[in-house]
Each structure stands twice: as C-alpha cells, then as structure tokens.
Chains A and B, each alone.
Chain A
C-alpha cells in the first residue's frame, strides 16, 4: 500500500470558515494526508520573534512557527499547503512571506490559497493533486526526453488538444473547442493520429491532463492521468528548451490561470486561480467577437493599437465588456480597444496571481492565449522582460502528457 503524501497545513481561519473538511477531502482524494505540524506553545513566541514579521493574529504566529519548524527539519513533511481567509490583509502578507521563506529554504513544494466559506474540495483538488504529484513523482518529472510513440491529450475547459510524439519529436496534432468532452477527445485524437500517420495500436502509452482528464483517461485507458499544473510546467520547459535552472510558466487559460515557478523542470511554487473571467482567455474571446474578428486576428490587431488610450479594467467580464462597448461608442479604434483588452487581462493576472509567485527568468507563456501577440507583449511590458513563447505552446498540456507518459512504456 502506498503511504499517503504528508501535506503540512499552515493556516489561519479554515475551521471557523467551515472549510477544513473540504481541505481534508481534497487531500484524501489524491492520496494525500493533511496534518498540522506539532509545535510547543512556548516555542511559538520565540520562532515568531525570530521570523521578524510583527503580526497580531495568534493563528498567524502559529503558522509562522510551523513554517520554521518545517524548514529547520523539526517536523517532516512532503509538501506544504498555506491557506488563509480571503480579504484578510494581515494573512495575505503572512501567506506570501511564508511561501517565499519555505521556497527559499527548503525543497518542499508549496501551494498557497485564500479561501471563503464557499471553497469546496473540488476547487482545491487540482492544487492538492499537484502537491502530491511533485512529492510522489519527482523521478517522472525529471524526465527530459520523450521516447517511443506516445499520445498526450489535454481536455481543457475551452479546447481539447492531442499530440502524438515519436522519439522526442511531435509528429501529429489535433485541436478543437471542447463541446462533448469524450467526443471532442476522440476527434482530436483521430486527427493527431491521422496527421502522424500511425494507428492507435502503435501508440505505446497514453497520458491525459486538463479538466476532463479523469473521464477521458478512463475512457481511453490512459497510463497516466495527471493534473495540468505539473504537466504544463514540464511541457513548457521542455518545449522552450529550459529544462535546467529556474523558470516561470504562465498559462492564461479559458477558465483559470496558472503561474508556476520551476526549478530543473520541477514545480516549486504555483498558484491557480481566476476570480473572474475578466482575467482569462474568455474575455479575449469576447473582445474578438465584439470587434468582429477571429480570435487568431486579435493579436496582430492589438499590436497596431495603443492600449493606454482606452480605459479598461476587466476585473469582471461584464464591466470589462462595458468598457469595451463604451470605448467603441466614444470613437476608439478597434486596434486600441484590442490592445487595451490584452493589457487588461495581463494586468489582472499580474496583480492577482504573479504576486503569489516569485518571478524567475525566463518567463515562458503557454496555452492558446500565448498565441495572442498583444497579450504576450503586455505581459512582457508589465514584467519588464522578454517572454518566451515556445513552438506548439497551444498544445502544452498534451505535449507534457506525451513526454511524461513515455516513462510508462513497458519494455518488451
């Protein structure tokens, strides 16, 4: 029997918010076990003073003492989950500083999360799964080359993608909007196989990722079903040829966004979120529709415009669309509006998510939105760095899956 992955919880407020049960459930569903590092009451004040962050909430002092116990090795864990109440400024400061402290002083994977009473185990599942994957599958995540013939499938919220790889090369791809999850998967697989010129029987191993990974994985008898945080970051550093050293992966998806710091191909700190669709690819889709262009034309259009001329805050997709309509009605050009939409999405991701990870260069953007030049440009401006967009970036999850699952090919 596999031992559960021990996830140390550093938190303030989950019990009185009524969501501790949700945290425990999410961890259990992915073979994890949440525990609270055992510290002595008398040590809390000492450790808290040593850390030097003068907060007032006793539970935050306890979280600080627990983080120090983990880093010092007084308590052993496989991963760390930091959780505090959403909208608590004091807790947000502690959450960020603890995440940074643990990341700098240990090799423990960390995920931080701010919850409300509406947080469910389903929301936490992918994050918990990523923590357990990093703890359990370090050897697999260290894989740098693809071998044999493998198929990777990414059943995303907006699109489904498939990739066939052979001897470290992509030889077939398939892509389509996700409608019926299983049918979309079958269609893109058929397309990728046809393009590769091979049959399903020749495929030696299959991997799935994305929202529909479990359903599709079961249907197509996948050898590896793995969440998109670790798969995408692996795919990103592989395609960008940055498998060694630090990197930051940004994936602005159709339903949520991911920001992951990676060291030698293994994720360290990651956030996954999207408070509102205004900070996601959906808003850009809506913008393209309102401007009467295909989503593929939005990037070039935005590069001809100047976003600064149009006030836009897409924190909420409804208000963002309102700004867009108002700007067009006031005579703004389509180019300026397109550029403003790209800047707005990049800014939301920058403000809401990238503050939760420490940006390490190179910054790699992946996912379908990485093909929208205006968005990549806006992100580069905000981060003051040149963003790397690797080839096949829109197939990132499928490529990551195909790469990792080659570790499952059975020797004949």
Chain B
C-alpha cells in the first residue's frame, strides 16, 4: 500500500481510483458541486483559523498571500508524507479543482522536487483520450502495488 498524493486534491474520481487499487489517497475530501453556493469552489468543510496561514510559513514566506499559506498548511504535510503522486493538468472544474493558481504552482513544484514515482497527465479532451487516460492511471497504480 502506497500513500499517493493526487492533484487536483479535490478529485473524488482520482481518490476513488487510488483506493480501489489498494493505496491510500492523500487528498481533501471536498466535492466540487454543480452549483457553487460557498465562498470558493473548494471551500473547506471546517473553518480555517488565522493560525493556518502562519503554519503555512513552513512552505511559503510571509510575502506570499495568506490564502496560499493557508492551503499549504493543509497540503504541505500531505506532500511531505506522500510516496507517490498523480498530477492531472488542465482538468475540468467538475473533475476537481483548487481555487488558487499560485498554490497549485507551488504544490506541483514541490511534488516535482520529490524523488518518488509520479504520473503526470493532461485531462482528456475526447473519449479516445479518456480511455488512454484511465489506462495510464490504472497501469501506474498497479505498478506501484507491484513495486511494494
């Protein structure tokens, strides 16, 4: 069993796939809904306090916006803990998304820095690409299991 960080961290589909292959997804349990009635697309289910952006100083300096540091206080430890990662670029909002582009850049950079198995894909634009997309994720997760 491998701890797999998924990006976007809000992707329930990715999270589900990781679990089906017997691994532990490192993600946030937030579903992107069809209608947005919260402050942000991936509003946190629990209230974040002003302490979180301060904890985020471990990953981003004080001149980095508070929203980035607040998110990093949640995702930074997951990145530290992960043993593998799946990154999906340019995903559809409904697939899963994180509201702040600057945090996204930092998260992806930190994952790239880690010497762990990674799978980086672009979100499929048609059915054919979709089939290849799912197959690639399956293969990656299967191989992760075999390597352990």
- Give, as a whole number of angstroms, the nearest-CB distance from B51 to chain A: 7
Q: Is the CB of A58 within 8 A of B36?
A: no
A45 vs B93: C-alpha distance in the bound complex, in angstroms? 9
Residues of B within 8 A of A20 (CB): 39, 47-48
- Give, as a whole number of angstroms, the nearest-CB distance from B105 to chain A: 9
* Interface assignment of A390: CB less than 8 Å from any CB of chain B: no
Instruction: Known A15-B40, A86-B65; judge A59-B33 contact (CB<8 A).
Output: no
Q: Is the CB of A18 within 8 A of B50?
A: yes
Q: Is the CB of A57 within 8 A of B101?
A: yes
A366 vs B67: C-alpha distance in the bound complex, in angstroms? 36
Q: Is the CB of A40 within 8 A of B99?
A: no
Q: Is the CB of A36 within 8 A of B36?
A: yes
Q: Is the CB of A88 within 8 A of B67?
A: yes
Residues of A within 8 A of B88 (CB): none
- Give, as a whole number of angstroms, the nearest-CB distance from A98 to chain B: 15
* Partner among A9, A14, A41 whose Cβ is within 8 Å of the Cβ of B35: A41
- Give, as a whole number of angstroms, the nearest-CB distance from A301 to chain B: 38
Which of under 10, 10 to 19, 20 to 34, or 35 or more describes the interface residues of A?
35 or more
* Partner among B36, B70, B94, B97 whose Cβ is within 8 Å of the Cβ of A16: B70
Q: How many A-B residue pairs have CB under 8 A?
A: 131
Q: Is the CB of B36 within 8 A of A57?
A: no
Residues of B within 8 A of A11 (CB): 39-40
Determine the residue in chain B with the shortest Cβ distance to A65: B36
Most chain B CB neighbours (cut-off 10 Å) among A44, A59, A62: A59
What are the interface flags for A25-67 relative to B under an 8 Å C-beta threshold, 1 for contact and 0 otherwise? 0000000000010111110110000000001111110100000
Most chain A CB neighbours (cut-off 10 Å) among B54, B66, B98, B102: B66
Q: Is the CB of A116 within 8 A of B39?
A: no
Determine the residue in chain B with the shortest Cβ distance to A83: B39
Q: Which of A1-29 contact B (CB under 8 A)?
A: 9, 11-21
- Give, as a whole number of angstroms, the nearest-CB distance from A119 to chain B: 8
Q: Is the CB of A85 within 8 A of B32?
A: no
A18 vs B46: C-alpha distance in the bound complex, in angstroms? 10
What are the interface flags for A109-140 relative to B under an 8 Å C-beta threshold, 1 for contact and 0 otherwise? 00000011110000000000000000000000
Tell me how many residues of B have a C-beta within 8 Å of chain A: 37
Q: Is the CB of B65 within 8 A of A36?
A: no
Q: Is the CB of B102 within 8 A of A90?
A: yes
Determine the residue in chain B with the shortest Cβ distance to A13: B67
Q: Is the CB of B44 within 8 A of A16?
A: yes
Residues of B within 8 A of A9 (CB): 39
* Interface assignment of B38: CB less than 8 Å from any CB of chain A: yes
Residues of A within 8 A of B53 (CB): 16-18, 116-117
A90 vs B105: C-alpha distance in the bound complex, in angstroms? 14
What are the interface flags for B36-78 relative to A under an 8 Å C-beta threshold, 1 for contact and 0 otherwise? 1111110110011111111000000001111111110000000
Determine the residue in chain B with the shortest Cβ distance to A115: B66
Residues of B within 8 A of A44 (CB): 36, 93
What are the interface flags for B86-127 relative to A under an 8 Å C-beta threshold, 1 for contact and 0 otherwise? 000000011001111110000000000000000000000000
Q: Is the CB of B66 within 8 A of A13?
A: yes
* Interface assignment of A91: CB less than 8 Å from any CB of chain B: yes
9 A-B contacts (beta carbon < 8 Å): A11-B39, A20-B48, A36-B37, A40-B34, A40-B36, A41-B93, A55-B101, A117-B53, A117-B66
Chain A residues with CB under 8 Å of chain B are 9, 11-21, 36, 38-42, 44-45, 55-60, 62, 85-88, 90-91, 115-118
Chain B residues with CB under 8 Å of chain A are 32-41, 43-44, 47-54, 63-71, 93-94, 97-102
